[in-house]
Amino acid sequence: MKTPITGRVPSLLAAVLAALLCTLTLGAGTASAHAALTSTDPADGSVVPSAPQRVELTFSEGVLLSADSVRVLDPRGERVDEGRPQHVDGRSESAAVTLRGGIGDGTYTVAWQAVSADSHPVAGAFTFSVGAPSKTVVTVRSAATTIDPAVDTFYGAGRLAAYAGFVLLVGGCVFAGVCRSSRPVQRIAVAGWVTLFVSTTALLLLRGAYTSGKGLGSVPDLSLLGDVLATKPGAALLSRLLLLSAAAVFLAVLFGSYAREGDDRPGEGRSREDADAARRNVAYGLGIGGFVVAAGLAATWAMAEHASAGIQPWLAMPVDVAHLLAAAVWLGGLAGLLAVLRSGEAIRRPAVERFSRLAFASVCVLVATGLYQSWRQVGFSWSTLTGTEYGRWLLLKVALVAVMLAVAFFSRRWTGRLADGGTGGQASGAAGTAARRTRGPVGVPAAARTATADPVRAAQLARQRAAVEKATGLRERDADADRSGLRRSVLAETAVAVALLVVTTLLTGTQPGRAEAGQKRAAGAAGAAPSAAGPAEVRLAYDTGGTNGRGTARVTVDPARSGATTVSVTLTDPSGRPVDVPELTLAMTETTQRIGPLRAALVRQSVGRWQATGFRLPMAGDWQLSLTVRTSDIDQVTEIESVKIN
């Protein structure tokens, strides 16, 4: 009979995973910038007297370039760059592209996309003008490459599945070799291998669409796959697939010939001493080979993600390998222990104690390596830890680890109370099995248990006996209070481990706290002087003439300066309450220089409130703001007001 807890194990774990997967995909369609654009030549929004020979970009860390990483578009939207983008003087944190000779005056848009050194795609756009600003059909928002939401969702799920597969594969194999090898543990390890293989293949196929901003339809494009394989992340994924072929051989030996060696007995052609010596030799070989394969698999993450970029990569990558291996041994071992406890198979106290010691050592390695990684990515600044997305996810990860350690404390207590093999619950289980084999399954008549000439009837009776024995074994398993207590605590650890894997996946896709804080400081220093005047705000009363057509629009341009700015619009009815309308458009025009109209891409934020971020005004001056409000299919009005831009 199943207990209330164990009966809900699959649904509980599935619910936790589903909820966290929702969290993982909430940000689909956007990506945190890892390599940030720090400067350009010509500068963003600048006006140069003559056409430059090339455009240069400088980033906060190294980037990988492709043939279309930097595109320069003239006012008509046609490309004026030529040749492949190159690093300047061999510096990986730079990019430059040559311009065609003889380009005319006007406003040019530079759209760029690259892959940061930690494998994440980054993209953006900026403008500069030759001679004088002009109208352009290109908008900065449309020029910047964004990740396709569907590709981003599938790629994020693939990364999570890859981590889970690695944990189950490595942890299951270590548990089988050190603690207990059984059919449930074998299924855990094989499931990990299959999950890691399938997810890695999917990541390799999705990688081109992920970095180029294209949709799922581009996944079969072999040219994109060729570009991926020429990069460090692509090489890491391919290496992982090759290492998995070696891992398949390791699994065959661990759960094949090595497991059979343990069943050999004297009198089967060799002495017990010879059998033990042969088994030790195989164990040494498996230990060394398994460690090499597991470390190689972990290195495919370390060589292509956060550890490979930033400060001290020569130390960070081996530390990251140790961190991943320790996590796999602990979390994957928990899955193996839970599988054995749920199956009802006998597991002796020494085996559980060995896993307890192994888990404790893994936790010590995790703490040591985690402290170093936290310092490297966040530093010792509390504001960076609490004021950046990476820092907040890191705090959540630390909290989950603390919860796991608290639950593990109770697991160790249950381990201490677990009866030794041959006594208590284990003995009763063995005796019950022997008794069932003697008297046969309950509920099956004695005449039916005798041999029969009908093979179909014999197979049916065999299935009945197996079902009855399994049900009886599960009842005896659940009658052991110590074993049931250990199973419940291990189940709780496993549930928290699922959450921990999701948070870890989110951390690998989030910009490190040091980099984000540095960008904020640089942006603040750059924008402090121009934004000293503060935002510009205008109020426009409108009346479309229809029902509920009267109201007031409050438009804010913050900061009121040339370059990137944010435009916010709030609509209220005559009583001052926020009100929505079917359509709202805003455009700005510099009438003296005949620039515009530049249309702001307003996005509804809440009832009566719209906002356009990243809206760019190429120069200072008196700009004409045009706001069009539509309250029905036929009722609309356009209001105009002047705004001073510094």
pLDDT single digits (tens) 74-98: 998 899 999 889 998 888 889 999 9
> What's the mean pLDDT in 408-420?
62
Which are the contacts of 556, defined by CB distance < 8 A and separation ≥ 6? 535, 536, 537, 567, 568, 569
- Kindly report whether the global pTM for this prediction surpasses the value 0.75: no
Q: Which two tokens stand for residue 325?
A: 């291996």
pLDDT tens by residue, 443-481: 444 444 444 457 777 777 777 777 666 666 555 555 556
pLDDT tens by residue, 261-291: 555 444 455 566 666 666 677 778 888 999 9
Q: What is the pLDDT of residue 497?
A: 77
Asked whether the predicted pLDDT for residue 199 surpasses 80, the reply is yes
Q: What is the pLDDT of residue 148?
A: 81
Kindly tell me the burial class for residue 509, based on how many C-beta atoms sit within 10 Å of its own C-beta (0-12, 13-18, 19 or more). buried
Same topology, domains 37-143 and 533-645? Answer is yes
Asked whether the predicted pLDDT for residue 180 surpasses 80, the reply is no
The vertex-220 CA angle with 214 and 223, nearest 5°, equals 75
Strands (E), 105-259: 106-116, 121-130
Cα 642 to Cα 127, 557, 562, 612: the distances in Å are 24, 12, 15, 18
Q: Which two tokens stand for residue 407?
A: 């639950």
Q: Which two tokens stand for residue 237?
A: 């994924």
Residue 47: strand pairing partners: 129
Q: What is the pLDDT of residue 168?
A: 94
Q: What is the pLDDT of residue 478?
A: 55
Domain locations in the chain as residue ranges: 14-27+149-419+480-515, 37-143, 434-479, 533-645
Asked whether the predicted pLDDT for residue 131 surpasses 50, the reply is yes
Q: What is the pLDDT of residue 244?
A: 95
Percent of the chain with pLDDT over 70: 75
Indicate the angle between helix axes 513-528 and 389-417, nearest 10 degrees. 160
Q: What is the pLDDT of residue 156?
A: 87
Asked whether the predicted pLDDT for residue 15 surpasses 80, the reply is no
Kindly tell me the burial class for residue 309, based on how many C-beta atoms sit within 10 Å of its own C-beta (0-12, 13-18, 19 or more). buried
170 neighbors 297 (Cβ within 8 angstroms): yes
pLDDT tens by residue, 94-112: 999 999 988 888 889 998 8
Looking at the domain 37-143, which fold is it?
Immunoglobulin-like (2.60.40)
Rg, the chain, Cα only = 32
> What's the mean pLDDT in 627-642?
87
Which are the contacts of 576, defined by CB distance < 8 A and separation ≥ 6? none
Residue 56's nearest CA partner among 107, 91, 15, 27 is: 91
Residue 490: pLDDT band by 50, 70, 90 thresholds? confident
Cα 460 to Cα 300, 437, 443, 457, 645: the distances in Å are 50, 17, 14, 5, 86
Asked whether the predicted pLDDT for residue 39 surpasses 80, the reply is yes
Q: How many CB atoms lie within 10 A of CB 577?
A: 11
| Single-letter residue type at 134 | S
The residue behind tokens 């994957």 is 332
Cα 511 to Cα 146, 213, 248, 408, 582: the distances in Å are 16, 19, 35, 31, 37
pLDDT tens by residue, 424-450: 344 334 334 444 444 444 444 444 444
Q: What is the pLDDT of residue 319?
A: 93
Question: Considering the domain 533-645 in this protein, what is its CATH number?
Answer: 2.60.40.1930
CA dist., res. 381 & res. 367, Å (int):
19
Q: What is the pLDDT of residue 187?
A: 92
The residue behind tokens 């045009």 is 626
Asked whether the predicted pLDDT for residue 149 surpasses 60, the reply is yes
